[in-house]
Structure 1
Amino acid sequence: MKPLPALELVTRLEDAEWLDPVAKKVRKVVKRTVRPRWARDILHGVPIGHPVHPLAVQVPMGSWISAAILDAFPGNNRAATVLVGVGAASAVPSAVAGFMDWSQLHPQQQRVGLVHAAANITAVSLYTASLVARTNKQQGAGKVLAFLGLGAVSLGGFLGGHLSYRQAAGVNHSEDIPHRFPSGWQALAPLEDLPEGKLHKRAVAGLPLVVFREADTVNVLSDVCSHLSGPLHEGKLKGASLSGGLTGDGGEPCVVCPWHGSTFSLRSGEVQAGPATARQPRFETRVTGGLVEVNLPGAG
């Protein structure tokens, strides 16, 4: 079966460079609006382990779809009006979370995301107008505006699906590592070949790893950032001195992704700061006869 013609139009949006100046301005507004790191992490979904936006949109979408069903039958004006209002109000926090995620995406993803946002803003505007019409006892106009809003938010949903499932925005880009890495202990490198207190890249079974040595302790994570596949070994080292000891400014050593600033503990792989929400695969290590070996639990 051939894809729908609309898919080709959406694909063209990925290369629509004319959207970049608009995206740049919107990014600046988003970054100025939400400054605290803790607020950004909450909006990204760091505490729950996945993006907040796809979860939050269920409330306005569910409300508006339910309102459309009620509008199709007589005698449900009051209930439909309440649902339209709930959807319009709940769309605001959902949009804030969505813009926060969008601000940390690749240019091709941001172009599609910008049109996705425009469709949803149009939908919210139509539903707000519908709510005003309904409260002024203009039920016919309110229903027409609501059905137009449903069409707009459906278009936005289609673009959101493309963004998530075709362009892989918001997914865990390290999820495949355990399925590709061989089971059991694998040779990494002689301990003496690994520099102390620095980020170092190694490959095992064709998969890139980021290595951080603390004396005789070797910490190893997947080098592919779970957010958008950034090379962690090119990132900044945080919380550790060049000699491998802690600096005393914040605890355990962390790596900051060079692309979007996601921060991971080098000892556990846990997310310390977003936009990443999924932890990095962490490899167990041991030193046998001077040779460092790694093992990924659950691999294979």
Structure 2
Amino acid sequence: MRELSILKPLIALEHAAALDPVILKIHGVVDALLKPRALEDALHGVPAGHAVHPAIVLVPAGTWISAAVLDALPGTARASRILVGVGVVAAAPAILTGWADWARTRREQQRVGIVHAVANESAWVLYAASWFLRGRDHEALGRTLAYVGFGLVGFGGYLGGHLGYRQTAGANHANAVLTRFPEGWRTIGLLADLPEHEPVRREVAGEALFVLRQGGRVDVLADISTHLGEPLTDGVFEDPGHAAATITTAYGSVFDIGTGEVVHGPATAPAIRFESRINGEQVEVRLHRP
């Protein structure tokens, strides 16, 4: 089956560098608002273990879809206005979580994301106006604005699907390691060849590993961030010599090297961790399977 023709302008949108000056200005504003760090982690969905924006957006979308159905039926003006109002209120956390996720994505994703946000927030303005007008006996105009907003929500949702599935924003980029890495213990080299307190990259069966030796302890993670797939070995190593040493990736995710757990988002899934042991002079690893 052939792809829809709308995909061609969407692919072109990913490379629309003309949007970059606007993106940079908005990015600065969003960065200033994403404080303290605990707030940003909550908006990304770190406590939930996955992004919360796709789930939260179901509330305004669901109420507005229901309102669109009721608007086509007689005698439903009051119920429809209530649904529109609930959607307007529920859209606030959806907007906040969306901007938080957008600020920690690649530029190609941000270009699509900015249009996604404009479509959805224009719909929010129209629905707010619709709710206001319905309360002042301008029912016909209120319904018209709601249907225009409904169309924008549909377009924004399509862009959101492109972001989430075609561009894999919010997906776990390391999960495939769990199926690709071979079973059993695998040698990664001599213990003496691993520098102290300095992360290094090793490879086993075609899979890149992040390896950190601290004395007789060797911590090993898959060398790929669960957020956007950036290598952990390109990140910033903090607290060397401590059990709670962390690595901060290029997009700001912070992982505990000893456990792989997320210390701070935007990553929501833990890094893939390996067990390690010293066998003679060799360091061996195997995939940790809970």
Matched with 2:251 is 260
Shift of 1:297: 3.3
How does 1:134-213 map onto structure 2 within 5 Å? Answer: 134-213=134-213
How does 1:73-84 map onto structure 2 within 5 Å? Answer: 73-84=73-84
Shift of 1:154: 0.5
Shift of 1:192: 0.7
Whole-angstrom distance in 1 between the partners of 2:171 and 2:234: 22
1:33 aligns to 2:33 (yes or no): yes
CA offset digits 1:103-158 (Å, max 9, x no partner): 11111000000000000011001101111110011111111111111000100000
Matched with 2:234 is 234
1:273 aligns to 2:264 (yes or no): yes
Shift of 1:287: 1.0
Shift of 1:79: 0.7
How does 1:2-151 map onto structure 2 within 5 Å? Answer: 2-151=2-151
Shift of 1:298: 4.3
Whole-angstrom distance in 1 between the partners of 2:235 and 2:206: 21
Shift of 1:11: 1.1
Stretch moving more, 4-13 or 158-167: 4-13
CA offset digits 1:16-44 (Å, max 9, x no partner): 00000010011001011222111110001
CA offset digits 1:232-251 (Å, max 9, x no partner): 112111122xxxx22xxxx6
1:211 maps to amino acid: V
2:93 maps to amino acid: P
| TM-score scaled by length of structure 2 | 0.98
User: Which of 290, 293, 297 pairs up with 2:281?
Assistant: 290
Whole-angstrom distance in 1 between the partners of 2:15 and 2:183: 40
Whole-angstrom distance in 2 between the partners of 1:293 and 1:34: 41
RMSD: 1.1
2:233 maps to amino acid: H
Q: Specify the SS of the correspondent of 2:6.
A: helix
Q: Specify the SS of the correspondent of 1:49.
A: coil
1:45 maps to amino acid: G
Whole-angstrom distance in 2 between the partners of 1:129 and 1:206: 56
Whole-angstrom distance in 2 between the partners of 1:148 and 1:298: 50
Identity of aligned residues (%): 47
Whole-angstrom distance in 2 between the partners of 1:25 and 1:90: 26
Task: Give the ranges of 4+ consecutive aligned residues of structure 1 lying more than 2 Å apart after TM superposition.
Answer: none
Whole-angstrom distance in 1 between the partners of 2:149 and 2:223: 43
1:285 maps to amino acid: S
| TM-score scaled by length of structure 1 | 0.95
Whole-angstrom distance in 2 between the partners of 1:28 and 1:93: 20
Q: Which blocks of at least 5 consecutive residues in structure 1 are unaligned?
A: none
Q: Which blocks of at least 5 consecutive residues in structure 2 are unaligned?
A: none
1:183, 1:298 within 8 Å by CA — same for their partners in 2? no
1:40 maps to amino acid: E
2:79 maps to amino acid: A
1:209, 1:222 within 8 Å by CA — same for their partners in 2? yes
Whole-angstrom distance in 1 between the partners of 2:33 and 2:273: 34
CA offset digits 1:258-293 (Å, max 9, x no partner): x11211011100000111111000001111111111
Q: How many residues align?
A: 290
CA offset digits 1:4-23 (Å, max 9, x no partner): 11111111100100000010
2:255 maps to amino acid: F
CA offset digits 1:151-172 (Å, max 9, x no partner): 0010000000000100000100
Whole-angstrom distance in 1 between the partners of 2:252 and 2:148: 39
Q: Specify the SS of the correspondent of 1:47.
A: coil
